Amino acid sequence: MTELNIVQSINRTLGDAMRRDPNVLLLGEDIGVNGGVFRATDGLYKEFGADRVIDTPLSETGIIGAAIGMALYGLKPVAEIQFLDFIYPAFDQIVSELAKFRYRSGGQYPAHVVIRSPYGGGIKGGLYHSQSTEAFFCHTAGIKVVVPSTPADARGLLLSAIDDEDPVLFLEPKRIYRSMTGEVPDGEVRVPFGVARVAREGSDVSLFAYGAMMPPALEAAETLGQEGISAEVVDLRSLVPLDEAAVIHSVEKTGRAVIVHEAARFCGFGAELAALLAEKALYSLKAPIVRVTGFDTPFPYALENVYLPNAGRVVHAARNAVRAS
């Protein structure tokens, strides 16, 4: 075990994966000599050279298109998109190509590309360095979407992503890249996809969150505990595939659900969770499902903290859910 923050854990895991498998290579903007704008690839260029830590021209469609070609040929490319906000020039390559290669070729041409991308607000990044648009990708058949919230999960999920046979979007909560450290296994301890983590057990209300919304969810649970409300906190970790059983099981236990995400509410991932509970856990619900999310506005610069969900909003929502029944 080593005490690391999330970005250190990602850095170390990338290096370990590259040492183990010569087919693993990295490509993206500023990831080589500069070590990445968040330093996620720091030191890797020096160790593995320009052929395996490839600084590319500034073109996201070029990065993902090239990564697909490499994957078809048998390499295991891990592409970095510098901010999730800049992924859209590659949207066609991801949605029309990467996610559909296995299907449209009848299994002849699987394309296993891992796309790492920092996402989310909280760093004063304004409209274009802050968004959480995971729902676009979760809506696309053929690509997996995972989001760690701890240094250990960052390693475990990234190892699984690199070993997977399918395309994976690995979303990195940049707001908490360095805000905490945790024990990270030194060995290759994988976190399987599709398995949620109960971060805190409780019996009165379930708080569902992922990525950078885990700290406020846990803080809210602590506050609620002081008020005598026992909150369970479930870290989804893997949005596609989703651990539906864990979501349902938690609500069967608590009878109340509060869903927390940074993304805008309308058609956000929380809508899928709410639909799931309505379809499969309706009779366990004692109160209406509540979503604590970003507003249905673009992500603002000066009013970032107004936009972002915080522990206070989660406490308020959970309290109301408990009082409603």
Partner 1 sequence: MVDSGTLKVAPTAVESDAFPPDALLDAYRIMVLARATDERCLSLQRQGRIGFYAPLMGQEAAQVGASRALSPKDWVFPAYRELAVALDRGVPLRTIFDQLLGNANDLIKGRQMPNHFGFRDENFVVASSPIGTQITQAVGAAMAAQRRKDAIVTIAFFGDGATSSNDFHAGLNFAGVFRTPTIFFCQNNQWAISLPRDRQTRSATLAEKGLAYGIPGMVVDGNDLNAVYAAVRAARERALSGGGPTLIEAEVYRFGPHSTSDDPSRYRSEQAVAAAKQNDPIARLKQELVTRGIWSEDLDKKLGEDVRRQVLQTFEAAEKVAPVDPRSIFDDVFARLTPRLEEERAEYDARMHEGVEKP
**Pairing relationship of beta strands 257-264 and 205-209 according to DSSP bridges:** parallel
Residue 241's Cβ-count burial label (10 Å; 0-12, 13-18, 19+) is middle
Which of 1, 141, 180, 275 binds partner 1 (CB under 8 A)? It is 141
Restricting to residues 108-137, which ones interact with partner 1 according to CB under 8 A? 108-110
- Which positions from 171 to 210 touch partner 1 by CB under 8 A, shown as an x/- string? -----------------------x----------------
* Number of chain positions touching partner 1 (CB under 8 A): 48
Which of 93, 150, 206, 250 binds partner 1 (CB under 8 A)? It is 93
Contact region for partner 1 (CB under 8 A) — 95-103, 119-127, 149-157, 175-183?
95-103
Q: CB within 8 A of 197, min separation 6: which ones? A: 153, 234, 235, 237
Tell me, yes or no, if 139 is annotated catalytic: no
Cβ of residue 32: shortest distance to partner 1, in angstroms?
A: 13
For residues 243 and 192, what is the distance between their CA atoms, to the nearest angstrom? 11
Contact region for partner 1 (CB under 8 A) — 41-49, 59-67, 211-219, 315-323?
59-67
Question: Number of C-alpha atoms within 13 angstroms, CB side, residue 117?
Answer: 28
Peptide bond into 241 cis (omega under 30): yes
For residues 7 and 12, what is the distance between their CA atoms, to the nearest angstrom? 9
Restricting to residues 282-311, which ones interact with partner 1 according to CB under 8 A? none
Q: Which of 129, 139, 249, 316 is catalytic?
A: 129
242 belongs to the binding site for partner 1 (CB under 8 A): yes
- Which positions from 5 to 34 touch partner 1 by CB under 8 A, shown as an x/- string? --------------------x---------
Burial code of 148-172, b = ≥16 C-beta within 10 A, e = fewer?
A: bbbbbbbbbbbbbbbeeebbbbbbb
Strand partners, 200: 233
139 belongs to the binding site for partner 1 (CB under 8 A): no
Restricting to residues 65-84, which ones interact with partner 1 according to CB under 8 A? 65-75, 77
Angle at 319 between CA 268 and CA 307, to 5 degrees: 40
Which residues participate in catalysis according to the annotation?
A: 129
